[in-house]
Chain A
C-alpha cells in the first residue's frame, strides 16, 4: 500500500466506519479479531443502513452478520477485484474526476480488467457469477464504501499484489480520502501498529527510513552516536544497507546450505543465536523447520511473561534460557492503535516476582554487551539531560526523530493529556471538545507539529492540513514515462496556498513551492528535506501555508519497480486447480530474498500437488485466543472455551473420509509434516477446504510435549500447531508466509 500512495497503514478509523454506506471485507474477520471495534460495523449497519459484504473462504462470525457473502477460493482475490473493476468500468461507475486528478496508471488496470469477464472470475474464484455482479453493483453504487482487509489478503505469495489491488479498487470508485471510505486494514495484536512504526523489521530503520546511508547518518546524528562507530558494528560497511532475515524465515539462516534447504546469503555464516522477545515463534509457518533451527542454535533466549513454546518444541537441552518479562500492566508508555492513533498506558503494578519490564531486560543486555550509553544517549538529547526518564524521554525521542510519518506531535505530555481526557472525544469523528478542542483522539499520525490536531482520515483533501487533511504522498518521483505524478489542478487540501499538486518539500524547493521566503537563521537550521528536518521548520511553514510536507501527488496504480507493475493473478504455490496453475503461474524464484533464496514457480510446478493434497487449508483466529496462544491457553476460562485443537470440516467431506464428528484425524502437508487433531463438523467451510485455528502448541505430530514444560508452567490447553502443516510459500516483497491458502490431505486417525 505504501507503494500505492505513500503510507501503508489503515487510512480511516474504526469509528469512521459508522459513516460508510457499504462495507466490503476481504479476508478479515473483525467480529472475531476486533470484537469491540466491530460495534462500529454493526452501528453502520443499523443506523446507516450500510450493507456488509464479506468475501472469505469460510462463513465466519463476521459473515454471519453480513448481507452478502461470497465464499471465495483462497488466493483468488485479485481475479475477484478485477471482476468487480471490469463491471465498474463497463458501467461507468468509476469516479472519472478522481482518477484524473489523483491517480496514475489506471489505464493499465482498465486493460487488465478486460481479461476478467464474469464467467472467468466465477470459474477461478468459485463464487457464483450473479453474486459477484450483485456485490459489485451494490458496492459501487453505495458510496462512500470502505474496504476492510487483514491477513486473509496479505498472507499469500502475492500478498503484496493483493494489497495493491484493494487500493486500486477504492481509487477507481473515488472512495479514498472521504469519510466512510478508505482502505481500513485491521491490525491485530495490541500495539502491532506501534511495533511496525518503530520498524521492528529487518529491512528498515525505525519510521520507515530504510537502510540507505543517508538514513543511517540521520539516525546517528539524532541518536547522538558516532556514525563511524555504528558502521564499525557491521562485518563490513556494505552490510549496513542489506536487509536481514525475516521473522518468517529466520530459521533458514540456521539451516541454510543444508541439503534440501534454500541457500542463504549471510556472509558465509549461519545464525547462531536467537533472542525472542514477546513473539509467538510457534505461530509462523513451518513449525517443524522452526524446531529444527532451534535445535541447531548455539543459544536461544525467550523473553516472555508465559513460557514461550519455542522453548518447548525444541529438543535443545543446553543454552536455552527463559527470562520472565513483565506484562503491559507492569510498565508505562504509549501504544499505537490500528488507526494510527497513540494512547498512553500507565503502570498498574510493579513487575512481579523476578520479572522485569521489557526495556529493563534490553538495558541490562546492552550494559553487558557494552553499548548501553549509546543506546540511551538519544533520550537525553532533547533536554540535554544527564539521566533519562523512562518512558517519557523515550516517547519524546521518537517524536523528535521520526518525521516520515509525522510523529513530531506525539510528545509524552500530549498523549498523557489525551489519556486523562479520553471521555472528551467524539466516537465517530474522533474530534475533541471542551478542553480537547482542536485535537483528534490519539493524534493519529501524521501529526506534523507539536500543535497539530492529528490526521484521522488519510488523503482527505476536504480538510485543511492543520485539521488533518492531505493529498497522496509524493514518494515516487515527479514524473514517470512522461506523465506527471503530481496531483491534478485544484486537488490540494482545503485552505492550501498551493492549489495543485506539489512535490515533497526539501530545503531546496521550500521557498518556491510554499511561496515564502526563509530568514537566514532558518536557512541555516533547516534540514535537507522534510524527513530529516530536525528543526521542524519545514513542517511549521507547511502548516502555515496549509500544505502537507510530504507533497501532493497522484496515487499510482502501477508500481514499476515491482515484479508485477500492476497486480496480476498468480495461483498460490500449492493450488487445488492445477489447470489454473499453468495459466497463472507464480513468480520466478527469487534469490537472496531477505538473505534466503526463495522458491516460487519451481515449488509450484514441482509436482501436481492437488492430486495428492486435494484439500484447501485455511488458518485463522478464535475469539478467545490470540497469536501463539501461550497467554490464553494458560488462562483457565479462556482455555475452557476451546480446550482442544480442532479442525472445522464439512460433514460431507468428513463423511467421505470416514471421519466422525469429534473423532481424531490426520492432516498431511505437501512438505511431509502432519498433525493429529479433532474433527469438528461445521457448515462454515465448504466441502473442498478445512479450517485450523493457529493458537495451539504443545503437541508435535501426535506426540505430547507436556513433559517438557518446567514444573507448574504448563498451560491448561495444549494441542497441535496449525503451522506444522502450513505450506512453504512466502510473499514476493514482504516474505510473509502463505498461510491463508495451502493444500493438505486428510485422513481418519
Chain B
C-alpha cells in the first residue's frame, strides 16, 4: 500500500468491469439524489456483447473529470471551471446550450433536457462528482441547479456509495489506483493495463 497520507489532489472515477453487474444502482441513485428530469442520465450503465460467453461486460459511464477536459476547451462562453482536485464543473447561468461540449466529450457526459419549445435544448447538465456548482455551497439554488454537494459535506459521491459490488470507486486517484492494483493482482490474469477510458480522460 502507499503512504498513509491521502491528499485528494486528483479525484478520479474507476469502474471495474470484472465486478459491474449492470444493476443500474449507480444511475438510479444519481437520478434520485439530484432529482434529475427523467430524460437526463448523468450516469448510465452499458453492457457490451450481451449474451456472448466470455465477452459480455458491463461498465458504468459518466463524466470522467478529465485532465485537459475537452468540454472546457471548446465551450464558446467559457462556462466551465476546473477545481484544484480535478473535478470539472460548469455554470448553468452562463451556458447557452449549444452542446459543443457534448460533441467534444469522448464519454458523452454532457446531457441536455428537452427544455424549450419546438424541441430546443435546455442548458447542459452533467455529472458533478456530487460537488455542486458555482452557487454558494449547499445553498438552495445550488441544490436546485446542480443537485447535492456531497463533496463539501465530506461524503462519497452517491453513485459509488450505492454500487452493489463496489465496482464503481471514486476518490483520490492514488487510492483508487491502489484498489485497482490489488484487484488485478488478486485476479492474477486477464485484465487490461488501465481501466477503460483512463487514457482518454487522464492521458497516458
* Chain A residues within 8 Å of B, Cβ to Cβ: 31-32, 35-36, 38-39, 42, 45-47, 49, 59, 61-65, 69, 623-624, 636-638, 640-641, 682-685
Min C-beta distance of B152 to chain A, whole Å? 24
Pairwise interchain contact B21-A61, C-beta atoms closer than 8 A: yes
Chain A: minimal CB distance from B96 (Å):
27
Q: Does B116 contact A (CB under 8 A)?
A: no
Stretch from B22-30, B64-72, B123-131, B170-178 forming part of the interface with A: B22-30
Distance of A687 from chain B, by nearest CB (Å): 12
Do B23 and A684 touch across chains, with their CB atoms under 8 A apart?
Answer: no
Are B38 and A637 touching (Cβ within 8 A)? yes
B28 and A35 form a contact (CB under 8 A)? no
Contact B164 A36 (CB under 8 A): yes
Known pairs A61-B22, A641-B24, A641-B28 / 4 extra A-B pairs, C-beta < 8 Å: A46-B187, A47-B186, A59-B56, A682-B51
Task: Identify 6 residue pairs between A and B in the complex whose beta-carbon atoms are under 8 Å apart, listed by A's number.
Answer: A35-B21, A59-B53, A64-B56, A624-B24, A682-B50, A685-B51
From A38, A49, A62, A683, B51 is in contact (CB under 8 Å) with: A683
User: Which of A38, A49, A641, A682 makes the CB contact (< 8 A) with B21?
Assistant: A38
Given known A-B contacts A623-B24, A682-B50, A683-B51, A637 and B32 have beta carbons under 8 A apart: yes
Residue of chain A at shortest CB distance from B22 = A61
CA distance A641 to B28 in the complex (A): 9
The answer to the question of B165 belonging to the interface, with a C-beta cut-off of 8 Å to chain A, is yes
| A683-B50, A684-B50 known; A38-B28 Cβ under 8 A | no
- In the complex formed, the residue of A with least CB distance to B53 is A69
Question: How far in angstroms is the closest Cβ of chain A from B14?
Answer: 15
Contact count band on B: 20 to 34
Residues on A with C-beta less than 8 A from B22 are 61, 623
Give the complex CA separation of A682 and B49 in angstroms. Answer: 10
List chain B residues, Cβ under 8 A from A684: 50-51
Contact of A59 among B31, B32, B51 (CB under 8 A): B51
4 nearest A-B pairs in the assembled complex, by CB-CB distance: A683-B51, A35-B164, A684-B51, A35-B23
* B183 in contact with A46 (CB, 8 Å): yes
Residues of B within 8 A of A45 (CB): 187
Question: Nearest Cβ in chain A — how far from B70, in angstroms?
Answer: 28
B57 at the interface (CB under 8 A from A): yes
Q: Is B166 an interface residue (CB 8 A)?
A: yes
CB-based contact A637/B165 at 8 Å: no
**Residue on A nearest B165 in the bound complex, by CB:** A39
- In Å, the complex CA distance between A490 and B165 comes to 42
Q: Does B18 contact A (CB under 8 A)?
A: yes
A77 to chain B, nearest CB (A): 20
Q: Taking A59-B51, A683-B51 as contacts, is the C-beta distance between A35 and B165 under 8 angstroms?
A: yes
A36-B165 contact, Cβ under 8 Å, with A69-B53, A637-B31: yes
Take A64-B57, A69-B53 as given contacts and tell me if A42 and B24 are in contact as well, using a CB distance cutoff of 8 Å: no
Bound Cα distance from A36 to B188, whole angstroms: 24
Contacts of B186 in A (CB 8 A): 46-47
Instruction: For the complex, give the distance between the alpha carbons of A653 and B99 in Å.
Output: 41
Bound together, the chains give a CA A39 to CA B162 distance in angstroms of 13
- CB-CB under 8 A from B50, the residues of chain A are 682-684
Identity of the chain A residue whose Cβ is nearest the Cβ of B29 in the assembled complex: A637
Q: Is B52 an interface residue (CB 8 A)?
A: yes
- In this complex, the member of B38, B51, B165, B188 whose beta carbon has the largest number of chain A beta carbons within 10 angstroms is B51
Given the interface pairs A638-B28, A684-B50, A684-B51, the reply to whether A42 lies near B23 with Cβ below 8 Å is no
> B19 at the A/B interface (Cβ < 8 Å)?
yes
- Among residues of B, the one whose C-beta sits closest to the C-beta of A71 is B53
* Least Cβ–Cβ distance between B102 and chain A, in angstroms: 20
**A-side contacts of B56, CB under 8 Å:** 59, 64
